[in-house]
């Protein structure tokens, strides 16, 4: 049996600020649902890729999943992240045979991978 990711959660200090970030950068439709400060995200993505990696420094770094989002123009997407209040966490680098990858953070300090895949 295989298992697929069916839901992801982004924790925020300021939900409205995060909503503006994700709508502005990725064009996601985000709508209020249920309790106050709770929103449903419809990212309308075609697929989801992931990996497991060793934690290099115990107690530091990520303590959860990092989602990587596919994009057609990595540099333009990084620019949109910065323009909407996010930051570059790790600059663009090349993975041969896969594409170019960079890590950014949203307005809440959450890490996001951005991948411009090779066209093969």
Domains in the chain, CATH or no CATH each: 15-117 (3.10.180.10)
Which distant-in-sequence residues (6+ apart) come within 8 Å of 50 by Cβ? Answer: 5, 65, 67, 68
pLDDT at 108: 80
Give 39-44 contacts, CB < 8 A, sequence gap 24+.
Answer: 39/15, 41/10, 43/69
Adjacency order of strands within the sheet including 68-70: 68-70, 111-117, 99-105, 87-95
The arithmetic mean of pLDDT across residues 31-49, rounded, is 64
- Grouping H, G, I as helix, E, B as strand and the rest as coil, residue 69 is strand
pLDDT digits (tens, 9 = 90+) for 49-94: 223 333 445 455 445 667 888 888 999 999 999 999 999 999 999 9
Q: Are 118 and 74 in contact (CB under 8 A)?
A: no
Q: Which pTM value belongs to this model?
A: 0.68
Distance of CA 68 to CAs 32, 36, 103, Å? 24, 28, 8
pLDDT at 6 over 60: no
Q: Are 95 and 101 in contact (CB under 8 A)?
A: yes
pLDDT at 26 over 80: yes
Which distant-in-sequence residues (6+ apart) come within 8 Å of 67 by Cβ? Answer: 8, 48, 50, 112, 113
Lowest mean pLDDT among 6-20, 37-51, 70-84, 96-110: 37-51
């Amino acid at each position: 049996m295989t298992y697929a990711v069916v839901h992801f959660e982004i924790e925020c200090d300021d939900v409205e600020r995060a909503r503006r970030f994700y709508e502005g950068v990725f064009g996601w439709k985000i709508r209020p649902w249920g309790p106050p400060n709770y929103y449903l995200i419809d990212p309308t993505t075609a697929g989801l890729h992931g990996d497991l990696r060793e934690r290099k420094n115990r107690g530091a770094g990520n303590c959860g999943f990092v989602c990587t989002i596919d994009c057609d123009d990595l540099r333009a997407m990084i620019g949109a992240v910065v323009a909407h209040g996010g930051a570059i966490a790790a600059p663009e680098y090349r993975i041969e045979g896969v594409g170019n990858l960079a890590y950014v953070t949203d307005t809440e300090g959450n890490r996001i991978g951005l991948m411009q895949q090779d066209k093969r």
